[in-house]
Amino acid sequence: MSHTETKINNYEMLLKQLTALLENEQDHIAILSNTSALLNQFLQNINWVGFYLWKDKELVLGPFQGLPACIRIAYGKGVCGTAIKERKTQRVADVEKFPGHIVCDSASKSEIVIPIIIDHEIYGVLDIDSPIKNRFDEIDQTYLEKFVNILQNLLR
């Protein structure tokens, strides 16, 4: 099996695990906490994974795995605030080249942020940081977006 096929197979398994782990649960803190732990266990070469949640017109730190991080991020600021403003995944190969990137852990070199939108309303973002440049490719983006899509349905 090629590296790509193995990667896709592993992601397919992850999507099944997410559904199995969380179905029949309604509590959002429990869902997001277990989700960050699941991703932290599954993803290689990452140093931070977690959520920022949309509260009173700004992003506020939610459940995560990694070092303590900045707590509040304004709309349009940093990679996370940009993902919310554009309602679009931000896949950043080199954070030093992203204007306005907010440094939480100086080890972070690349980052992917996926907006979580439920019934057209902003809910928050999934943010994943890596200590290596260019960690996230198109397959990661496709499957992490599928992952967030399942999560959106579980949080509805």
Q: Of 8 and 70, which has the nearer Cβ to ligand SME? A: 70
Could you say which of 18, 84, 104, 154 contacts ligand SME (CB under 6 A)? 104
Could you say which of 32, 35, 89, 101 contacts ligand SME (CB under 6 A)? 101
Alpha-carbon distance of 68 to 71, in angstroms, equals 9
Q: Which residues contact 43 (CB under 8 A, 6 or more apart)?
A: 49, 128
Closest by alpha carbon to 91, among 64, 117, 69, 110? 110
Alpha-carbon distance of 6 to 138, in angstroms, equals 15
Q: Of 10 and 76, which has the nearer Cβ to ligand SME? A: 76
Closest residue to ligand SME in the complex (CB): 78
Instruction: For residue 48, give both structure tokens.
Output: 């931070």
By the rule CB under 6 A, 129 interacts with ligand SME: yes
Q: Of 30 and 71, which has the nearer Cβ to ligand SME? A: 71
Name the site residues for ligand SME (rule: CB under 6 A): 48, 69-70, 73, 78-80, 101-102, 104, 108, 111, 127, 129
